[in-house]
Amino acid sequence: MVAERIRITDEKLLSDNWYVLRRYTFDYLGKNGQWTTQQREAYDRGNGATILLHNPETDTVILTRQFRLPTYVNGNDTGGPLAGMLIETCAGLLDNDDPQTAILRETEEETGYRLQSVEKVMEAYMSPGSVTEKLFFYLAEYTADTEREAGGGIDEEEIDILELPLSQAMAMIGTGEIRDGKTIMLLQHLRLRQLA
C-alpha cells in the first residue's frame, strides 16, 4: 500500500460569507497506480454534536422543530405554518468547545434541560462528498425531575420543543414526518438498544 495517495496542490477560498467554501486541486493515486489531477469543493462549517434525550420511565423522547431554509428550497414546503420546518434532535456546532461541552450547552439552549451526564454513542461524517463536518452523537436520560429552563433556542432560532413517545417518533420516520438523518440515526440506535 502506498503511504501517500493524495497531494493537495492548490486551495482556493470561494466564499466565507456564512462558513467557508474552498476549491481544492489535488493529485490522486488510483488503484491502477496512475496519478490523476482532480478538483473538488468542500464546505467547512466546523464539527457538531447532536443528542437524543430519552425518559426510560415513560419511553418518551425530546425532539425539536425549527425552520431549515435548505430543506424548504429542496421541497420541504408543506404549506401553512409548518413549511420548511424540520423535526430533529437537539444539535449544534462545537465552536471552540469539546463535543461533550458543546452538546451540554446546546441541550440547555435549545431544550432547556440541564444534563449532568451524556453518553457518546458514535461519530459520523454526514455528507462526506461535499461537507467536512464530523458529527458526534450522544444519548442522555431525562426524567420529570431533570432541572429545566425555558429552552427554545437563542436569537432567531425559534425552536419548538416536542416530547413524544418513542413509538410515535419511530412511526414518524415511516410517514415522512421525521426526515432528518441524524435524528433517524439516533432514534434507530435507541430502538435497537432496547431490542438487544
Question: What's the CA dihedral at 142, 143, 148, 150 to 10 degrees?
Answer: 90
Q: Could you tell me which residues come within 8 angstroms of residue 65 by beta carbon, excluding any fewer than 6 positions away?
A: 85, 86, 87, 88, 159, 160, 162
pLDDT of res. 78: 72
Question: What average pLDDT does the segment 159-186 reach?
Answer: 96
Q: Per the annotation, does 123 bind a ligand? A: no
pLDDT of 184 over the 60 cut = yes
pLDDT of 169 over the 80 cut = yes
Q: Per the annotation, does 91 bind a ligand? A: yes
pLDDT of res. 156: 65
pLDDT of 51 over the 90 cut = yes
pLDDT of res. 1: 43
Q: pLDDT tens across 68-111, in order?
A: 988 889 888 777 778 889 999 999 999 999 999 999 999 999 99
Q: pLDDT tens across 107-166, in order?
A: 999 999 999 899 999 999 999 999 999 999 999 999 988 878 776 666 667 889 999 999
Q: Per the annotation, does 140 bind a ligand? A: no
76 near 66, Cβ under 8 Å? no
Question: What average pLDDT does the segment 156-179 reach?
Answer: 93
Structural domains of the chain, ranges and CATH numbers in brackets: 6-44 (no CATH), 48-195 (3.90.79.10)
pLDDT of 56 over the 90 cut = yes
Q: Pick the residue with more confidence: 62 or 157? A: 62
Q: Per the annotation, does 157 bind a ligand? A: yes
Pairing of strands 119-125, 134-141: antiparallel
pLDDT of res. 154: 64
Question: What's the CA dihedral at 173, 175, 180, 183 to 10 degrees?
Answer: -20
pLDDT of res. 75: 86
